[in-house]
Each structure stands twice: as C-alpha cells, then as structure tokens.
Amino acid sequence: MANCIIAQSGGPTSVINASVVGLVKANKEHKLYDKVFGGINGIEGILSEHLIDLTNVSEEELETFKFTPSSGLGSCRYKLKSYETDEEEYKKLIAICNKNDIKSFFYIGGNDSMDTIAKLSEYGKSNNIDINFIGIPKTIDNDLPITDHTPGYGSAAKFIATSVLETYLDSCVYTNNGIFILETMGRDTGWLAAAATAARMNDKPVADFIYLPEHPFEVKSFLKDVSERFKENNQVYIVVSEGIKNKEGGFISELTPAQSHDNFGHSQLGGVAGVLKSFIIEAGITKRVKTLELGVLQRCAMHCSSKVDIQEAYEAGYFALLNSSPENNGNMVAIKREANAPYTSSSFLTEAKNIANHVKYMPESWINLEGNNVTEDAYNYVMPLISNSPELVLENNLPKFKVYNK
C-alpha cells in the first residue's frame, strides 16, 4: 500500500474538519492507505513540506476535531499558475508526494480549490503521474454548480436564520421602533442572505425585505419599499447580501482598489448595510437605523451549527477516500438531494473542471418579482439543511476544540 494526503484551502467553515475526520475514519475502517498525512496550510504548506501524520489519531481526538470549527489543518489562498506557464511548482509538489509515497491527494475547498484539483489532475495525466487528485467541496457561499449544496452552507444558514430571529426580537421592543439592517456574506450569490427566510414567527417571515446580488439593486425602489413599510408598521427589518449590485453591475459597497482584492482577484466587500443606512437617513425616513454585519461568525459558529451539515461533510470525506482510484482522478465529491420529507441525500462524483471557474446562482424563480425577497421555494430548499444540532463536548463550560495548525 501507499499513502495519501488531505489539506484545506480557502475560507473556513464550521464543518470543514468533519470531512477530514470522515476520510481518516474511512481509512481506519478500510485500510486503503498505510498513512494519511495532513497538509498544513494547504498547497502553500505542502510545498514547504509541512506535513503531519493523522493515521493513528485517537477516536476521542478525532471526535473533538469533528466538532471544531474553522480549518483545523490551516488554510491558504494560493493560486497555482497553469503548468504551461510555470511548471516548477508542479514538479516540486509531485517530488514531495513521491518522497512520501503519496498516491492520492485530497483537497477540501470551494471554486478556486477545485481549479487547483483540475490543474493538478490534468498535469498528472499529461505526464503519466500515478497520483489521484480528488476534490472535497466546502463553502458557506453555496455557489458550486452541479452539487445540490455544499458542506458549510447549512450551518451558516442556520446561524444566519437564528441571528435574524434574535435581532428581530431585539429590534422591536419599543413603542417607536426603527429600521434594522443585517448584512450577510455573499460576494456573487445570495444563498446566505436567502437563508433569512427560515427565520419565522407564527409561520410568518420576520424579515420584511431580503436583497440578493442576483437581482439589480435600485436605490429609488428600495427607499420606496422601506418608507411604505415603515409607515405601516413603525419598524422594518432588512437582510442584505454584501455583494448587491446596481444594474450596471457595480457593487453598492466596494473598498478602494488598493485594499479590495485577494490573491484570486476577488473584491473584498463589506459595509453595505452602512451604505443603506445612509440612504435611509438622507431620504428622511427615520434616523433610528441600526446595522449588524455578521462577518466571520457565519463560517465558524459551531455552537449554532447544523447536525445534517456536519454529517454530510463527514460523508463527503468518507466517500472521497473510498473512491480515490485512478478512474476518479480529477473528480470532486458532490451531493444529490434525494428527498425533502424526510430529507435524504447521497454522494456522487463530478469532474472538478466543471466546478472550477463556474458559479451557481440563486434561481431567478426563487426571487420575487420585486427583487426584494425570496419565494417559498427558497424556504423549502433551506429548511432540511439546518436540521438538528450537535451535542458539543464542553471543557470549563465552553466547547472543547482541537486544531493541528498551531
């Protein structure tokens, strides 16, 4: 037998470590590899030969790691050039794999990570290299095509819906209430903001308006909607994605060019709730406007995670190991929704190149005609993914966590 390696890339999620645990446990049970290495800080760390041995980690430690949020192996935002442009990093990575007798390389991540898997597998095939490159999905943005949803989204959705409920109750305690604006992540897609539709009291959504990047944002229409609702109810609750754009495709809120892009060229957004607040105040609707940017809590709130999400992340890792054969080189694990009631799902494989550099948007039919909310289809989609809560192990009355990148 030979060895394998697993690493994490891109933004963290609450459940990303469950995929590592699923893979390690699959190997404990099926013994497909002598050793399971963990690559610390993704491709960047592996190129520096920062590897650890996860093969014989105890069941107790694995269970703790499974319920630890964020990337416990560390992460990176490292973009491989095409091998036609620069082959040196590919040669170095293959040499490190050969040195450690690694025959399967697993990478947990989103769109850009699947681009890495696609490039590595293509390079390997073109050079007759006998290493399998397999992708395992994760992203709270839920924007990977083909798969019904991504591990990480369900927990983020649950945290967002819970936060909407709690802040809604906080925002409506006075006789003269104001306007509350909650901002979610979501640079290109509105899946996260749409999760707010799950926040309901007496079977009625508490959010008056939900604004997504998929529909052009018009300031005039926004102010009209808010003004009318405020006159009716003396309060308005708004959920907005950080990535909302005008009809020309420009972000409503974007940082200066010197600060606004990561290594993949993505705009780094945030603060759109404050922009909407200024619109409302300048329009004279009311000065009583509060905003809340949920920020990174959306991707690390294990205390408000989804048990279904954790299990599917675990199963994705387990399935990846069992299917790490040469004929699956260059594939990514994806999730198929079998049924909603009761909810069931299964795993299958799809080519990573069909994921990389593609985006899954909210269906247009799931957004109302006015572009200021979502339909019941969105609600029915989200609800099964936020089901149940895990029982966390406590230490000193706080959750007990374990990481390997410190």
Check whether 40 has a pLDDT greater than 50.
yes
Phi, psi of 175 (to 5 degrees): -75, -30
Q: Which of 169, 151, 165, 242 is nearest to 198 (CA)?
A: 165
Span 59-79, average pLDDT: 96
Question: 246-272 pLDDT, tens per residue?
Answer: 999 999 986 333 333 444 444 444 599
Residue 141 appears among annotated catalytic residues: yes
Q: Give the C-alpha distances (Å, rounded to integers) separating 289 from 172, 222, 228, 236.
A: 12, 15, 16, 9
- Has residue 167 got a pLDDT over 80? yes
What is the per-residue pLDDT for 270?
53
Question: What gap in Å lies between CA 72 and CA 316, rounded to an integer?
Answer: 17
Is residue 234 within 8 Å of 176, Cβ to Cβ? Answer: yes
Over residues 127-156, mean pLDDT = 98
pLDDT at res. 305? 98
Active-site residue identified among 112, 115, 141, 225: 141
Cβ-contact 359, 143 below 8 angstroms = yes
Query: Are 281 and 223 within 8 A, CB to CB?
Result: no
Residue 405's pLDDT band, with cuts at 50, 70 and 90, is: confident
**Could you give the CA distance from residue 387 to residue 375 in angstroms, rounded to a whole number?**
20
Task: Say whether pLDDT at 293 is over 60.
Answer: yes
In 99-178, the DSSP E strands lie at 102-109, 132-137
Higher-scoring residue by pLDDT: 113, 405 = 113
Sketch out the chain's domains with CATH numbers.
3-151+303-358+387-399 (3.40.50.450), 156-300 (3.40.50.460)
**pLDDT at residue 221 greater than cutoff 60:** yes
Tens of pLDDT, residue by residue over 21-39, are 999 999 999 999 999 999 9
pLDDT at 329 over 80: yes
- Those residues with Cβ within 8 angstroms of residue 25's Cβ, 6 or more apart along the chain or in another chain: 62, 314, 318
Residue range 157-170: mean pLDDT, rounded: 98
Whether pLDDT at 371 is above 60? yes
What are 230-244's pLDDT values in tens digits?
999 999 999 999 999
With a CB cutoff of 8 Å and minimum separation 6, the contacts of 312 are: 151, 154, 335, 345
